[in-house]
């Protein structure tokens, strides 16, 4: 790849922290073209887990294992930091190992990834991913509805936080490049956990008395949406609208249910979920998995089988898209499977790792980096100036539905972009998802705050004409339609590039534009199934999705990272580009710590039942416990009838990393949640709405949380006037 042809050309990143999230963030910045030096501590913190997954998280980086007693090594690290644009650290677990630089206006961007952030009563507490899963309600929302909660078995929060951190780092660099000062970034796994619960938050923030509980493989706001047992395996089926239900009724030969009382409306099907599932199960049970997938796919119903992880996720489309690669690990002296980059960018293709880092070989290269004076680059230029939001002056067109593109665009809006949400005249489908207020869904409001609404029928000549004018006058177009949907309306990728060569066009789909499944619809649960996550998370042998929408969330976050990187290149060269993101690629990338035979060796956890719920603790520690029905009997006995807080405190006093499993409602009530200001209420047009704050904590230019998006098409006249169109007529 030629010099200058990467999104983050010339950027030096120093990776100090041992949290997995730090490694994830560094990996994404390396894929976008940064030179990343991973400074590795000699004494690893066991629960951080990064040393265990080093071959994966250090791929594509240079590695340095300094001798803390050697002054020349200390000086080498100091010189690297002084020349870097970004420093990544995890101060809650690495304070004794590394001295991360303090954030200054003329130094590098310092991104600190910790468990709880720098503020609040839990600041500095070095909890694990597992403990934060418990404290945030994520464990409580994962598992079967009639069974105990389930831990995920992957460092999922570390990955989600690391992706967010990469976006925050690029946004902070953009502020600096455009005339602002360097700033610190305060990334917390706890904040990202809260942000990931958006589909569970509406009834809690609405103050409904009912408790939010796990639903197995169901969706809290849609039905039918579940795993069903076929003759030879499991099949996922997902529907979210009345139209999809009508098509499904045709496939299962029950057309009368399409309009039957109790089934015709989405809210009714959610209310009688068990009856709806029984109807679908009766049909699925008579067919083989492949037959179900073919029949449902022909009716455009989202569905899919469960992909297994055996050294890597066994799924044909992942191999078709070259997501499975092999590299030699010099430390283990064997070949290992590593994922390809999920960032598919047409002009600045993400840099796949050509080798795994080797501290013995890399030292000389690292020394040269520190010794050679680096010319000021766009990423290191320092200038005093106003601190405007990173995307101020950027116009984003969103043609999104449900979660992925809408969430990515909402995050862009919080970073200062003007986001124009194009909806069909009747509005985006999630506007009708219960619970609602004054005819608008709380979930839609949480996912779409801060945008302008433009109602367009893209199948009409006038609608296409307005979209063309918007493309001409915008910086970013993001959509999550099925591949080919825009091309069928006259907006193929090449045509969009001709309309506006500077445009960054990001298309997010279930399986990618170049896919074995070009017409298959996909929702979060289907992607979790076909990427390997549900092979890891099981309840009594049944594949189970994570309670949070992992595929949707990771897809939205990765879209934000890709768009920010593409804007850096566009501003430097004037060239836009196309981004093809596959949610399956991205979700499989999340499972990489379970590859190479590590699936069964994942850190396990044990749940202990208390009188008021569960606590979770690592299985390694659980082997040394003996649960007694009679409190206090026997050496090492624990009090099975104790409360969660009592038992967790007792185990913690023994050095065991235990944590109470809290519900979403209990997390809302925690002082840490209010101290971090993770949500707020705003008054809008006579109503009060809850909104979520962005988890991207840029300390100098904090993201702005704006008002809810208004009714469909509310902002149409102002938008059309701004782009030179009046009443849908000519320019």
**Does residue 57 have a pLDDT over 90?**
no
Determine, yes or no, domain membership for 575: no
**Does residue 273 have a pLDDT over 60?**
yes
pLDDT at 706: 87
* Residue written as token pair 């990618």: 512
pLDDT band, residue 632 (cuts 50/70/90): very low
Q: What is the mean pLDDT of the chain?
A: 89
* Residue written as token pair 């780092």: 169
d(Cα 283, Cα 599) in Å, to the nearest integer?
33
- Which residue, 622, 643, 660, sits at the end of a domain? 660
Taking only the tens place, the pLDDT of each residue in 207-218 is 877 777 788 998
**Cβ neighbour number for residue 636 with a 10 Å cutoff:** 10
- Which residue, 660, 684, 706, sits at the end of a domain? 660
Highest mean pLDDT among 72-81, 176-185, 207-216, 417-426: 417-426
Determine, yes or no, domain membership for 256: yes
pLDDT at 731: 40
Environment class of 525 (CB within 10 Å of its CB; exposed 0-12, middle 13-18, buried 19+) = buried
**Does residue 185 have a pLDDT over 80?**
yes
Determine, yes or no, domain membership for 466: no
Determine, yes or no, domain membership for 459: no
Percent of the chain's residues with pLDDT above 90: 71
Give the total number of structural domains in the chain: 2
Q: Which strands make up the sheet holding 109-114, listed edge to edge?
A: 62-64, 35-39, 12-15, 86-89, 109-114, 184-188
Backbone φ and ψ for 599, nearest 5 degrees, come out as: -60, -45
Residue among 320, 196, 181 at smallest CA distance from 667: 196
Average pLDDT of 602-611?
A: 82
399: helix, strand or coil: strand
Domain residue limits at 610? 605-660
Give the C-alpha distances (Å, rounded to integers) separating 508 from 59, 171, 418. Answer: 25, 21, 20
Determine, yes or no, domain membership for 382: no
pLDDT at 521: 82
Determine, yes or no, domain membership for 573: no
Tell me, what DSSP letter sits at residue 120? S
Determine, yes or no, domain membership for 481: no
- Which residue, 281, 300, 319, sits at the end of a domain? 300
Asked whether 141 and 664 are in contact (CB, 8 A), the reply is yes
Determine, yes or no, domain membership for 612: yes
Q: How many helices (H) and strands (E) does the chain have?
A: 27, 31
pLDDT at 639: 54
Residue among 242, 246, 284 at smallest CA distance from 265: 242
Please report the DSSP string for 219-281 in residue order: BTTBSSEEEEEETTEEEEEE--SHHHHHHHHHHTT-GGGGSSTTTSSHHHHHHTHHHHHHHHH
pLDDT at 626: 56
Beta bridge partners of 397: 420, 477
Q: Strands 476-479 and 395-399: what pairing?
A: parallel
**Cβ neighbour number for residue 208 with a 10 Å cutoff:** 12
Beta bridge partners of 303: 237
pLDDT at 631: 43
């Amino acid at each position: 790849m030629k010099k200058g042809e990467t999104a983050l050309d010339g950027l030096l990143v120093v990776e100090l922290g041992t949290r997995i999230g730090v490694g994830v963030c560094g990996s994404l910045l390396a894929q976008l073209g940064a030179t990343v030096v991973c400074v590795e501590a000699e004494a690893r913190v066991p629960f951080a887990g990064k040393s265990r997954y080093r071959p994966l998280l250090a791929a594509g980086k240079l590695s340095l294992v300094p001798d803390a007693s050697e002054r020349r090594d200390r000086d080498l690290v100091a010189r690297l930091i002084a020349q870097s644009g970004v420093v990544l650290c995890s101060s809650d677990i690495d304070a004794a190992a590394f001295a991360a630089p303090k954030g200054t206006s003329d130094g590098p961007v310092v991104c600190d990834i910790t468990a709880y952030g720098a503020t609040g009563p839990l600041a500095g507490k070095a909890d694990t991913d597992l403990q934060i899963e418990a404290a945030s309600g994520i464990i409580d929302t994962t598992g079967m509805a009639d069974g105990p909660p389930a831990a995920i078995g992957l460092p999922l929060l570390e990955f989600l936080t690391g992706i967010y951190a990469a976006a925050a780092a690029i946004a902070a660099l953009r502020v600096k490049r455009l005339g602002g000062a360097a700033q610190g970034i305060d990334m917390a796994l706890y904040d990202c956990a809260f942000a990931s619960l958006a589909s569970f938050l509406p009834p809690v923030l609405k103050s409904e008395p009912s408790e939010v509980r796990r639903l197995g493989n169901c969706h809290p706001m849609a039905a039918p949406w579940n795993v069903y047992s076929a003759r030879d395996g499991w099949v996922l089926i997902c529907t979210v609208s009345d139209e999809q239900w009508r098509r499904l009724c045709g496939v299962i030969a029950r057309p009368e249910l399409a309009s039957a009382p109790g089934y015709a409306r989405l809210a009714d099907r959610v209310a009688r979920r068990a009856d709806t599932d029984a109807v679908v199960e009766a049909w699925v049970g008579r067919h083989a998995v492949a037959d179900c997938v073919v029949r449902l796919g022909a009716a455009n119903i989202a569905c899919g089988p469960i992909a297994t992880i055996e050294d890597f996720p066994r799924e044909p489309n992942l191999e078709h898209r070259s997501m499975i690669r092999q590299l030699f690990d010099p430390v283990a002296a064997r070949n290992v499977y590593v994922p390809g980059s999920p960032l598919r960018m047409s002009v600045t293709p993400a840099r796949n790792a050509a080798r795994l880092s080797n501290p013995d070989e890399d030292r000389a290269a690292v020394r040269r980096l520190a010794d050679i004076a680096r010319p000021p680059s766009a990423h290191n230029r320092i200038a005093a100036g106003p601190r405007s939001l990173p995307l101020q002056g950027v116009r984003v067109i969103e043609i999104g539905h449900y979660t992925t593109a809408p969430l990515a665009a909402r995050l862009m809006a919080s970073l200062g972009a003007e986001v124009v949400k194009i909806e069909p005249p009747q509005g985006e489908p999630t506007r009708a998802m219960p619970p609602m207020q004054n005819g608008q869904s709380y979930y839609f409001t949480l996912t779409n705050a801060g945008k302008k609404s433009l109602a367009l029928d893209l199948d009409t000549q006038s609608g296409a004409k307005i979209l063309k004018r918007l493309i001409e006058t915008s910086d970013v177009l993001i959509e999550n339609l099925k591949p080919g949907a825009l091309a069928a309306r006259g907006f193929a990728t090449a045509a969009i590039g001709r309309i506006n060569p500077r445009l960054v066009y990001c298309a997010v789909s279930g399986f990618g534009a170049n896919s074995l499944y070009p017409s298959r619809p996909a929702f979060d649960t289907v992607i979790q199934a076909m990427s390997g996550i549900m092979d890891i998370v099981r309840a009594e042998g049944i594949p189970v999705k994570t309670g949070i929408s992992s595929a949707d969330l990771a897809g939205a976050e990765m879209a934000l990272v890709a768009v920010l990187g593409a804007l850096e290149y566009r501003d430097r060269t004037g060239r836009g580009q196309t981004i093809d993101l596959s949610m399956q690629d991205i979700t499989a990338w999340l499972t990489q710590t379970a590859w190479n035979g590590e699936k069964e060796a994942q850190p396990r956890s044990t749940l202990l039942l208390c009188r008021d719920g569960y606590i979770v603790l690592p299985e390694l520690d659980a082997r040394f416990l003996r649960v007694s029905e009679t409190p206090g009997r026997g050496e090492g006995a624990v009090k099975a009838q104790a409360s969660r807080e009592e038992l967790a405190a007792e185990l913690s006093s023994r050095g065991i990393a235990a944590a109470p499993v809290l519900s979403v409602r209990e997390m809302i009530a925690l002082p840490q949640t209010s101290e971090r200001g993770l949500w707020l209420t705003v008054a809008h047009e006579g109503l009060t709405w809850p909104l979520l704050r962005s988890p991207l904590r840029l300390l100098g230019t904090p993201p702005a949380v704006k008002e809810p998006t208004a009714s469909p098409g509310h902002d149409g006249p102002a938008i059309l006037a701004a782009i030179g169109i009046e009443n849908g007529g000519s320019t």
